[in-house]
Each structure stands twice: as C-alpha cells, then as structure tokens.
Chains A and B, each alone.
Chain A
Amino acid sequence: MIEIASLSKRYGRHLAVDEISFEVAKGEVVGFLGPNGAGKSTTLKMLTGFLPPTAGAARIGGYDIFRESLEVRKHIGYMPENVPLYTEMRVKEYLKFRGALRGMKGSHLRTRMGEVMETAGLTHVRRKMIKTLSKGYRQRVGLADALIHEPDLLILDEPTNGLDPNQIRAIRSLIQRLGEKHTILLSTHILSEVEMTCNKVVIIDEGKVKAADTPANLIKNMRRAGRITVEMKISAEEGETMLANLENVKKVTSKPLRDDWNRFAVFVEPKTDTRLRISNLAREKNWPLRSLMRKSATLEEVFVELTRKD
C-alpha cells in the first residue's frame, strides 16, 4: 500500500526527515511513533502531497506521491494534526462539502454521509455548528471526513491528541473497528494505544527510522526485557554480591523497602531466564524470599530505549 524509499525533507538548514524507508502492506494498521519533532507530521504531510519531499520517493497504492499527487489524494483519507475544520459550517454541511470535493454526489453521497456519521457517532450533532462542538467531537468530524470517500488508506496524525481518557477510548475502539477494513497509518506518542490497535510499529527519531517491527517482536528484542525483581530479607551488600555472581547477570541494584526487606533489580542478558537460579540460590542460603518476578517490558520502554538522548 505504501512504499517509502529514502524520503528526506529539509527545512532550510534543518533536516526534518532523513532518508527514511519503510513499507506498509495492505490491511495493516501501522503505528508511527516518535518523540515530538521527530519528523512524524512532516512525513505524513509528504505522503499526502501537502509538502514535497526534498529527496527520495514514495508510492501509495502504486501512485507516485509527487508526480501522481491527484491520484494519491483520491485514495487516501487524511486527518491532519489538530484537525483543522471550517468551524462556521454545520457537521452535515461540512461532510457534504468534503464529499463533493472528492467527486461524490447525489444519493451515494447522502448514504455515505449517513454511514460515516453513524460510524463516528455524529448523528445526533449533525445539525450543530462545528465551532460549538467539543474537541472530541471535532476529532470525530475529522475522522468522518477522512472516511467519507471509502479510501483505501487512512492517514491519521495524532488522532487522540488532547482528548480525555473516555474520548481516547472511543476513538481507539473506532480505529480498531476501522482497521478491520482499512489500511491505517497513524502517528501518535501514546504507546498504550499502539500496543492495543496496531499490528506494526515504526519508530522514528531525529528524522531516522529506529525500528520497524511488530510490537511483540520489538519488546522481545529489548535489552530491558531481561530484568528481574526479587524481594528478600537480607542485607543489600550480601544480596548484590551474591546475585551478581550468577550466570548471565549483568548488574544488580537494590532498594530498601519500608519493612527491613530489600528489593533487588537484577539485569540479565536478553533471552535468558535466571529466575530458577535465583530461587535455588535463595533456598541454599536460606534467604527469606517473598517475591520473584520477571518484569515484562512495555512498548514504552522500547520507545524510551530507542529515542532517549542521554
């Protein structure tokens, strides 16, 4: 659906997007992640034909984004960041206008308007002026607008930005439902959202692709994935030295808890399991042990690991 080949964008001296390449297959829901200013929005703007790339190329549905921009634009539904809308229009009027711009008319346009308003939960506010709507509803209007012409590809730039938790939930479940039928590329920095909705993640930072894989694979390959926490009633020095001597252990830190127990964090090599060795050690030494668990990494940790600056 999307093929991006070393796409770059330069604003004056600043290189916003630096030769990124990735692909999105038909039917995939892809989360496009990165810290603020990483080049997410710029990439999406280039894909939708709003900004020209400085170098490189990309194709959407087989059409070149630069040379066949009009064809590309027919096949995508784009929701820009912050969802700019004509606020003096009414919801229904706006959708009708946007549908007509995509060349829809008559009963086809009317049915589609009804359908997208139903999908986005806008039916009861269809006569309201957009400027009187809350942010959550505006977001839905933007989504309905992106959907109205049944595009093959949905490009959503931070669809849940600035919403309250309930609204985020509603939009997320909407995206999940849409993902069954559409190819979706959505940018966000809310990671739980990506874990729940996306079957592929592309992480970019400072204009470069840092990782592109399924969320599960990303987590599996994480260094942090090998972290075990143990709570034992022994002195910190004894625990740290003894645990550090075990096989595959890289580092041990400890933290005293309020009752004279200690919590040890044991960092181990990836793809190893040291839990059994720790429990054996504790039994041998007769250490009181009340908790032993491997901390499973989250996408958040993957994200921080890949994009932190220190």
Chain B
Amino acid sequence: MRIFRTLFFKELKSYFLSPFGWLIIAFAALMQGLSLSTTIKGFMDVPRTESLVYVVFQAPTFWFYFLFLFPVLTMRLFSEENRSGTLEGLLTAPVKTWQVVLSKYSAAYVTYLLLWIPAIIHFKLFTTLTSVPPPFTSAEIYGALLIIALMGALFIAIGCLASCLTSSQIIAGVLCIGLLFVHFLLGLVTYFWGDQIAAAPLFHFISSREHLDLFTRGLIDTRSIVYYLTMTGFVLILTHHLLDFRRWKP
C-alpha cells in the first residue's frame, strides 16, 4: 500500500507541480462557465420546463469539450515513460504491475474529478447570487455528478489503455479520442436508425448520451452504474495485461 501511495502522489504531483493540471482545470472551468451562461441566456428568451442542470448538460458544447478532457489527461501516463525509458527503471524496482497501473489511473481520475469542482461552484453561485429560487433540485445535481464520475471512470481507463499501447503521446491521444468517439457514436445509432433494429436495446444500454439524459433528470439507473464499473474494471485489467505482457511474451 505504501508503494501504491508513493506512486500515486508522484503521478498527482506531475499534474499539479507543472502548469499542465492547472491549464486543464482552467479550460474545463471556462467551458463549464460558457455552457452555464449560454443556458441562462436561453432561459431568459424562452421559458423551459426542464431544470437548469439538465439543459446545461444537454448543451451541444458539452460533448465537444468533455471528450477532449480524456486524451489530454491520460495520453502522457504510460507513453511518456515508455519513450524516455523510465518505465524500465520503474518496472525493475520491486513494484507490482497492478500498483503502477492503478496508481496512474487513480491520479488521472482524481485530477479529472477535481475538474468538476468549478461546475459545482457555478451552480452554488447561481443560488447564492440570484434572488430567484434555484431552477433545479439537488437530485439533479447529484445525478449529474454521479454520471460524470462514472463516465470519467471508464473514459480515463480507456485513455490509460491507449497510452499503454504506444510510446508516442500524440498517437495515444488520438487513439483515446478515437475510441471515445466510437463509443459515443455507438450510443447514437438508435438516434439515426430508429428502434426497429434488433440490437437497439444494446445500443440504448451503452449510450452515454442517454445515461447523461437520465441522470441529469435525477433518475439514477443502477444498470448504468454496473455497466460503467464493470467496463472500467475490464479495461484496467486489459491495461494491466498489456503492460505485463512485456514480461511474458516469449
């Protein structure tokens, strides 16, 4: 456990002892603020029955910046160590491969969660700075944060996998965004082709867009929770085996 902690804090420091982590937070805060302010403007023009939280996360800009957070956060993790050769020093020290994978994953995930602090502050500010009653309930806030945390868990894991596959950060980033985009498009299949196709329930089941839709209404679906957690576990195990494969391949 101490070794895991050492590795974890080393990774976390590499985000926050350089401008890197702060830049991503600034970028995320900016995009979250933009989404919120355009939504509020929209509310002034046309009255809506949905809550503020729901509309903010349905804004077209959301997926655009959301998916780009993951390659930026994860592309460095393994590929950089692979390129500079420090992976050799790391894996010839008495550490277990799962400690390396899990510490890198956790550090990236914690950084990712920190990105959502500005969003929470934004909603809090809305209730404290305006005299209108909050146009959302706490259920919607918690639902939104939960699905953000769940999607992040899986997408960061996918980023780790992509980073593990190559020693080039750029390729790792492109691979990560590619995989996430394919996942996102699979969720849109029923939107384009309708529900007549036999596999429609499957596409509904994996559609992150629909999960977001449900959770930001305050509807917490345990199937989605199980889906994200098992997929995260699966992708992390895959990453572990990829890294460990080096030790096994004849």
Contacts and interface: CB of A to CB of B under 8 A. Distances in A.
Given A85-B89, A86-B86, A101-B93, 18 more contacts: A10-B250, A50-B246, A54-B250, A69-B247, A73-B93, A74-B94, A76-B92, A80-B89, A80-B92, A82-B85, A84-B89, A87-B84, A98-B93, A100-B2, A101-B3, A101-B7, A101-B95, A105-B2
Residues of B in contact with A, size category: 20 to 34
B93 A102 contact: yes
A100 B3 contact: yes
Given A51-B246, A52-B248, A101 B86 contact: no
Contact of A84 (B85, B95, B250): B85
A14 B181 CA distance: 39
Contacts of A82: 85
A159 B92 CA distance: 17
Interface in A1-21: 10
Given A84-B85, A88-B18, A70 B6 contact: no
A52 B247 contact: yes
B124 interface: no
Contacts of B249: 52
Given A73-B93, A101-B93, A102-B94, A84 B247 contact: no
Nearest to B248: A52
Nearest to A98: B93
A49 interface: yes
Contacts of B17: 88
Interface in A70-117: 70-71, 73-74, 76, 78, 80, 82, 84-88, 97-98, 100-103, 105
Nearest to A51: B246
B23 interface: no
Contact of B89 (A52, A70, A71, A145): A145
A119 B86 CA distance: 23
Give the top 6 A-B pairs by smallest Cβ distance, nearest first: A84-B85, A100-B6, A73-B94, A48-B92, A84-B86, A101-B93
9 contacts: A49-B91, A51-B246, A52-B248, A54-B250, A70-B94, A78-B92, A86-B10, A100-B2, A103-B2
